[in-house]
Structure 1
Amino acid sequence: MITLNNKKPVNIYDPAYDKLFENLQGNILKGHGRNFTSHIFLRFEENKKDKVKKWIASFANEITSCKKQIKENLAFKRDRTSGDTFIGFYISALGYSFLENFNSSEKETDFFGSMKDANISDIKPSDWESGFREDIHAMILVADDNLMLLREKEISIRKEMNGKCKIVKIENGNVIRNEDGAGVEHFGYADGISQPLFFSDEIQELETKYKDVKINFSSFFPLSQVLVEDPFLKNEEAFGSYLVFRKLEQDVDGFKAKEEKIASIVGRKTDDEKEEIGAIIVGRFEDGTPHILSHEEGIIDNLSNNFLHKNSSNGKCLFLNHIQATNQRDEASREMIMARRGIPYGIFPGEGREVGLLFMSFQSDIKKQFEATQIQANHYKDLIIGQNLPQKMNLDCFGKKGKEINVENFVKLRGGEYFFAPSIPYLKNV
């Protein structure tokens, strides 16, 4: 009998989990790892429910299962063989209402609802981008390392959906890497460092990496952190996960200008001194070195996640610190940890070029994980994802007592939605 509250990491070779992996969509327990993505947002056509269901049942055969993803990951580790185009399929509360003939408000226990109704200090949906303001029933994720193959698959899918679904929006993502090959977001900071791990091989790699270090944290999480039983399918081995998607526009020029202004006011003149201004705001230097461990980047090798905020006694300011606001590394914050699967969009910042992050997170409870994290970020006045910010902040954190500076939000929500990643058997039998 499979339990989601497993007390030790899952062995990918354990046959007891084979059916779970086969029924579960990929990208939930492990990121898909592709460099390019296409996010296709759909609204099912009215009065064509039977055609929509028939198309979904057929399309389910193209979805990448967790089992297939594990096999492809092992092949890549063995001989660098690239996997097939990754495909995921996610349904919103409105989408389930369309397919299952119920009012979404009647299924509160099974599905959380729409991001448009969330009480997390977001800008009002009427100010979102067109497309996101509309009703969205589903999202398809297409990902590949080969951009041409991705576009070919996207075109093929659009032809399949013709007459059954309306495409309300398409968002494209692309991985950005620094000179060391690490994935970064547009502000230039290494991204995706603190992630929950579920598999024993990942935990073993981590333990080998830290073999001579006393570990201050645990990256192992039970499956219950992100998985729930599929609410619309009575099958003991069919699970899914709640998905949050948010398009977050980043004001790179504004962030860097504020960094420069604060540096000027507090007397930071060298590049390294200016770099620490951003590290205080983010909580890490651009290479991932936590500010709580060092005043400089790059001197703490292989320790990018080995710290506890509560053990800080070195006088560093944690107010406005993004990584503390989203993960205080206590038991309460541990319950809020999500599996983040976001990807940047836009190639580089510049006049007329919008850039940002296509944020995606999987969790077992949107309210207790994503929304609780967002509310905490608002409480801590996080300049990166906080929405409810003061007009001014003091510069005590930067060593200049009594000085204040205007506050801007350098990340703007452009739209998004809540989804559920259903089990593959549900989709095949919809």
Structure 2
Amino acid sequence: MTDLNTLLQSPIRWMSQATDPDMRHFLRDLQANILKGHGRHFTGNIFVSFEGMGAQAVARLLRDLSGYVTSALQQLCTARSSAGPGFDGGPVRCLLLGAGAYRALGNLATMPGDAAFQAGMRARQVALADPPAEEWGEGAWRPGNPAPDAMILLANSSFEAVTRDLEAAEGWLNGSGARVLGVERGRAQFRTFRPGGPAEGVEHFGYVDGRSQPLFLAEDLKREAAAYAEEPAPAGADTGFDPAFPPSQFILADPNARTELGAGSYFVFRKLEQRVRAFKRREEALAEALGLTGTKAARAGAMAVGRFEDGTPVVLSDNATEAAPPNNFSYANDPEGMRCPFQAHIRKTNPRGESTPKLPPEAPAERSHIMARRGIPFGDGVRDFEADAGQEPEGEVGLLFMAYMASIEGQFEFTQQVWANNPRFLRGLAPGEVPTGIDPVIGQGGDEAARTQLWPAGEGKPMVPFSFADFVRMQGGEYFFAPSRSFLREVGL
């Protein structure tokens, strides 16, 4: 039999499951949405408390739910058979457990070992520069509610289909002894950036989202390699972005698996409200401060994010491009941050090799901190980003940030604390270096100096100090673990 650690060192060749029983068993026991995003345009997240329930009652509830949990194999096979137009991939259902669920199970289960997971997101508030839990939002995050012990993720192709699933799940849970703390709903948003081009997924600030995703399925890597081969070589760049990552960076052995290939993944959920109108007005103010007018004004927002709204990297171009934007680039042609500032969101959270020369030999590799992101926007209705210019929402929209990883502390918390929130990453440690300031998109905390960054106004011109921060507000969240289906099926037996 294949050893799980060996299997997770190389890209997963999932189609080999037809002839490889070990691969088939692995994919049947792994939950959906980990190896590959579910791809549905609508989601519902139900947050559940087991408060007051005994260990056997919790175990029985998990066993009952296990039959509805979608496997990785089922997701991948369905996606392949429903790839054509007019096909509906059907529901995807996942069950994630918080540390509270394992405490409720007592000696019926072993607690996963990640220290951040065991502590819970509320206890990490200071390290993450999050607002106190008393200042979070409503629903599951209402002050006085306990931290969720579990989360059920429901995804489908229509709002109505998810509504039916939510109503059925909530009705059943309310009779089980568990308590539904709240529900969060996600709705994908799309924009078409060029005539005849595809509608692309965006977040509420209007920028293409989901670029530079780590890939660990061999079939996805083959398609990505073909796409990269068609991209022009990035001018001045000696390296590009390699999308291939070992599955072990996102998947690990489930300590409670009932099979030798039973695996799971840590999962981070955060509700991030976006102040869209304020963000857009700040983009305009930055453009004015830098003397960018007319069509050049879009460069201001592109420098804050690191890409133009259509995904064109600002390090490669002064404006959005008519062709499909490349993703195979580095920052080698911009060592002083004069095209893409060091504080730009994508340069902070995916430095593409820049931090490696500054790391001590014993430090984890830069790429080891990358997560498998699975987020989706939230907010009522479908936005028309061109029609609502000047009347953008000021709240009640945002991103349901979701990501899988093998280490919460080493991946999500590192990215937020050491990269995004750190005013001295990527510059500011060496004598005479001016700090970069915090990430202008997701950076949290910091004093006024940390929230004020230096922005390039053009060749031969002095850098312009300008504060760009506080447009994303954390409204609730928790750490979870996606256990193997075999554990859910047999816990307590």
Compute the TM-score of the two structures, normalised by the length of structure 1.
0.93
Letter in 2 for 1:342: G
Structure 1 residue runs of 4 or more that deviate by more than 6 Å after TM superposition? 102-106
Which residue of 145, 162, 186 maps to 1:173?
186
Q: Per-residue displacement from partner, 1:111-153 (whole Å, max 9, x unpaired)?
A: 5430111122111222112432532100000111122121111
Report the Cα offset of residue 234 of structure 1.
Answer: 5.1
Superposition RMSD in Å:
2.4
Asked if the contact 2:214/2:371 (under 8 Å) is kept, the reply is yes
Report the Cα offset of residue 3 of structure 1.
Answer: 3.8
Asked if the contact 2:110/2:256 (under 8 Å) is kept, the reply is no
Aligned to 1:377: 420
- Summarize the Cα distance change of 1:111–1:124 in structure 2 as closer, same or farther, 3 Å threshold: closer
Report the Cα offset of residue 59 of structure 1.
Answer: 1.2
Report the Cα offset of residue 317 of structure 1.
Answer: 4.1
Please state whether the residue corresponding to 2:445 is helix, strand or coil. Answer: coil
Aligned to 1:387: 444
Asked if the contact 1:94/1:104 (under 8 Å) is kept, the reply is no
Report the Cα offset of residue 405 of structure 1.
Answer: 3.4
Specify every segment of 5 or more residues in structure 2 that has no aligned partner in the other structure, as ranges: 193-197, 234-238, 357-364, 384-390, 426-437
Q: How many aligned positions are there? A: 428
Which residue of 104, 110, 114 maps to 2:120?
114
Higher deviation after alignment, 279-288 or 48-57 = 48-57
Asked if the contact 1:38/1:143 (under 8 Å) is kept, the reply is yes
Higher deviation after alignment, 166-175 or 217-226 = 217-226
Aligned to 1:9: 11
Is 2:485 the counterpart of 1:424?
yes
- Summarize the Cα distance change of 1:319–1:108 in structure 2 as closer, same or farther, 3 Å threshold: closer
Which residue of 144, 147, 153 maps to 1:135?
147
Aligned to 1:72: 78
Aligned to 1:341: 374
Report the Cα offset of residue 289 of structure 1.
Answer: 0.7
Aligned to 1:409: 470
Distance 2:478 2:117 in 1: 13
Report the Cα offset of residue 415 of structure 1.
Answer: 0.9
Higher deviation after alignment, 215-224 or 138-147 = 215-224
Aligned to 2:24: 18
Which residue of 133, 155, 161 maps to 1:149?
161
Distance 1:22 1:100 in 2: 27
Q: Per-residue displacement from partner, 1:217-259 (whole Å, max 9, x unpaired)?
A: 2111111011010022353210000000000000111111111
Aligned to 2:250: 226
Asked if the contact 2:48/2:180 (under 8 Å) is kept, the reply is yes
Is 2:408 the counterpart of 1:396?
no
Which residue of 401, 415, 418 maps to 1:359?
401
Please state whether the residue corresponding to 1:77 is helix, strand or coil. Answer: coil
- Summarize the Cα distance change of 1:219–1:91 in structure 2 as closer, same or farther, 3 Å threshold: same
Which residue of 322, 329, 336 maps to 1:307?
329
Report the Cα offset of residue 165 of structure 1.
Answer: 1.1
Is 2:263 the counterpart of 1:239?
yes
- Summarize the Cα distance change of 1:194–1:360 in structure 2 as closer, same or farther, 3 Å threshold: same
Compute the TM-score of the two structures, normalised by the length of structure 2.
0.81
Aligned to 1:326: 349
Is 2:216 the counterpart of 1:198?
yes
Report the Cα offset of residue 339 of structure 1.
Answer: 0.5
Distance 2:293 2:115 in 1: 55
Higher deviation after alignment, 7-16 or 409-418 = 7-16
Letter in 2 for 1:150: V
Letter in 1 for 2:482: A
Report the Cα offset of residue 49 of structure 1.
Answer: 3.7
- Summarize the Cα distance change of 1:107–1:395 in structure 2 as closer, same or farther, 3 Å threshold: closer
Is 2:70 the counterpart of 1:96?
no
Q: Per-residue displacement from partner, 1:261-293 (whole Å, max 9, x unpaired)?
A: 1212222120x2111100000000001111111
- Summarize the Cα distance change of 1:86–1:23 in structure 2 as closer, same or farther, 3 Å threshold: same
Q: Per-residue displacement from partner, 1:169-219 (whole Å, max 9, x unpaired)?
A: 110000000024110000000000111111121111112222245672211
Asked if the contact 1:341/1:360 (under 8 Å) is kept, the reply is yes
